[in-house]
Structure 1
Amino acid sequence: MTNSMVDWGLAVSLGSRVAGEGPTVSRAEADAVVAELRADADRSTGLVRDFTGLEAGERTAPVLVVDRRGWVQANADGFATVLAPVVEKLTEKKGRPTGAALAVGSRVTGAEVGLLLGFLAGKVLGQFDPFFAPAGRLLLVAPNIVHVERELDCDPTDFRLWVCLHEETHRVQFTAVPWMRDHLFSEIEALSDTMDASGLLEGGLQRIAEAARGDGNLAEALSTPEQREILDRITGVMSLLEGHADVVMDGVGPRVIPSVASIRRKFDQRRKGIGTLDRLLRRLIGLDAKMAQYRDGAIFVRAVVDKVGMTEFNAVWQEPAHLPTKAEITDPDAWVTRVL
């Protein structure tokens, strides 16, 4: 992108090299995996609707079965969209760099983004991208799904449907709750209003070192109290979305996935990270916090549904004011008292 503060071409190129190709499969196997994942995504729409009561039209967002490079490209595009208001605010405050400064800075940032995407591209099984116009898109990363089902020795048919149930739940969340996309965008814009280049750099190395030692992650290390307040709101939303999807996939699972209990047990163990380096990288980029969102969000959803039922729980989707705060995620009764 001309005059971009991030070299997105470099980010995609480097990220793809870091990610690698994934497991070796024949052309026939690859075609079969793609066909099965597409069919599972379509099948999941009705299963999610029946379990949650959320109405979302079928095929309102495209389903893309991608390789790792395709996931890197899609997320580079998404980052460019999400970061646009942040870059605009920084440009207003500090002015846009030009010439050599822009070239060097954009390549450094592109390399950083590329390394991050490359690491994640080997981990992510699926993702709903709500920022892809007009209604988002569902990404299923075929080589990673095959890799994990082999690694965990799961039944491939069961595992693929299980993954699709989780990701399709996210598609339903954003298409049945159309204000959710704009709400997240507004939070990102609010965060961009707080951004200051000098503030990001001042003391940054010290806070990053603290994060590496285990005292938080990079998102926390580079945030002011005002930014943390916004991040807490975003954390509440993301915990709800991820926990809700986990509850749906496990709630629907026993009826259509015979080995769901075994899959969940093995998958939860894998989420803890494999080796020391993997755990360190997860902590630094906030994946530990992401795993906590799945866990805490699922506990919240189950607690509320057990108390008031799914129909009453669905009040959470009526308006932004009904979304749980980060504190309420760990105190479901407080949310019930406030909203219901």
Structure 2
Amino acid sequence: MSSQVTVGRAVDWAFAGDVGAWLARPGPAATDYTRSQAVDELSVAARKAERPVREVTRMGGDAPVAEARIVDRQGWIRAASDSMRVMTGGTDSPSNPVTGRVTGAQTGAVLAFISSGILGQYDPFADTGTEDGLLLLVYPNVIAVERQLRVSPADFRLWVCLHEVTHRVQFSANPWLAQHMSQALGVLTSDTADDLTQVVGRLADFVKKRRGGELGANDAGILGFMRAVQSEPQQVALDQLLVLGTLLEGHADHVMDAVGPAVVPSVQTIRNRFDQRRQRKQPPLQRLLRALLGVDAKLSQYTRGKAFVDHVVDRVGMDRFNTVWTSADTLPLPDEIEDPQRWIDRVL
């Protein structure tokens, strides 16, 4: 009989937040004035981005605009650990204090590594006391990237907000999305009913196919390994989350480019330099960590998802594209992300 202890209850999430905050690298050197200016401009930009995003997406209507929370890296880590606790059904007290501290430290270390690369994030699971989620903007990272790219700070801050506000509109206009994600995450983090023999057999098959060159680049990497040790329901849940993530990120990138020219004067320069930054070669250790954490898979989501949204909107317009947000049945299937016409034929 499978254990009833979930992943969420096996982690000391408060400790994860503390460890992550302690390990986080300091942000770029900046005066108090620069930091204060960045915080104020990001707050204003998040509000300013809402109207053009709603106009382009045809979603959101006249719903009130919630304030964004502008945080440093430590603030993002604590918010992320709290959100992960909610997503995985965790509690304030882990089931085993000792192992909870160990897994908490591991989780905190991962969050610390990620924290230096996050510009912003919409968290639909944040416990804010209302039904709405929380839009987080990480101002030290925004300052660091705009300096690296040598672009207008005001333009870049608004450009970042266009992407993150699109995520807020996606979830606030379609409340079922958060529940769909939560259900898939619940399956993904549940104890598998498969016995060890079945898992070992799938893993051996994965290794054999990888050595024989029978697997594509995505299937041979960390995602392929994950599928090898998962039960069939977990594999389905993983595919659901990957497809949804690809759609959400691609849609946000599409909206950024559609809105950008009208409100961000230097949008083309920002886009070109930002894409070059995404594609630059990383040191070996960095590449390994990125692979293990799925960072490169995330970047692939932007490219593939935007191509899907661009194609469908170009063919049928934004209003008909928005059929995608109707229910889980109208979300694209994995093969439809690669071939948008198949989604059009099936759904529209």
TM-score range normalised by the length of the shorter chain: 0.7 to 0.9
Q: Which residue of 1 aligns with 2:10?
A: 5
Counterpart check, 1:191 vs 2:191? no
Greater displacement, 178-187 / 121-130: 178-187
Aligned counterparts of 2:66 and 2:122: Cα–Cα separation in 1: 9
Counterpart check, 1:336 vs 2:330? no
Q: Which sections of structure 1, spanning at least 5 residues, go unmatched?
A: 88-95
Q: Which residue of 2 aligns with 1:305?
A: 313
- What does 1:210-289 align with in structure 2 at a 5 Å threshold? 215-217=220-222, 219-220=226-227, 222-272=229-279, 274-289=282-297
Which one-letter code corresponds to 1:13 in the other structure? D
Aligned counterparts of 1:75 and 1:28: Cα–Cα separation in 2: 27
Displacement of 1:61: 3.7
Q: Which residue of 2 aligns with 1:168?
A: 165
Query: CA contact under 8 A between 2:308 and 2:337: conserved in structure 1?
Result: yes
Displacement of 1:7: 2.0
Greater displacement, 42-51 / 22-31: 22-31
Aligned counterparts of 2:157 and 2:326: Cα–Cα separation in 1: 31
Q: Over residues 114-157 of structure 1, what are the superposed CA-to-partner deviations in whole Å (9 max), with x where a residue is unaligned?
A: 11100110000000000124210000000000001111111111
Displacement of 1:191: 2.7
Matched residue of 2:59: which SS?
coil
Inter-CA distance 268–223: structure 2 relative to 1 (3 Å threshold): farther
Which one-letter code corresponds to 1:313 in the other structure? F
RMSD (Å) for aligned C-alpha atoms? 2.8
Query: CA contact under 8 A between 1:130 and 1:137: conserved in structure 2?
Result: yes
Aligned counterparts of 1:285 and 1:220: Cα–Cα separation in 2: 15
Displacement of 1:266: 1.5
Aligned counterparts of 1:299 and 1:283: Cα–Cα separation in 2: 23
Aligned counterparts of 1:248 and 1:281: Cα–Cα separation in 2: 30
- What does 1:67-216 align with in structure 2 at a 5 Å threshold? 67-84=72-89, 102-133=96-127, 134-193=131-190, 195=192, 215-216=220-221
Identity of aligned residues (%): 43
Q: Which sections of structure 2, spanning at least 5 residues, go unmatched?
A: 1-7, 212-216
Matched residue of 1:65: which SS?
strand
**Which residue, 48, 68, 92 being the options, matches 1:43?**
48
**Which residue, 9, 15, 30 being the options, matches 2:20?**
15
Q: Which residue of 2 aligns with 1:53?
A: 58
Displacement of 1:103: 2.9
Matched residues, number: 322
Query: CA contact under 8 A between 1:15 and 1:118: conserved in structure 2?
Result: yes
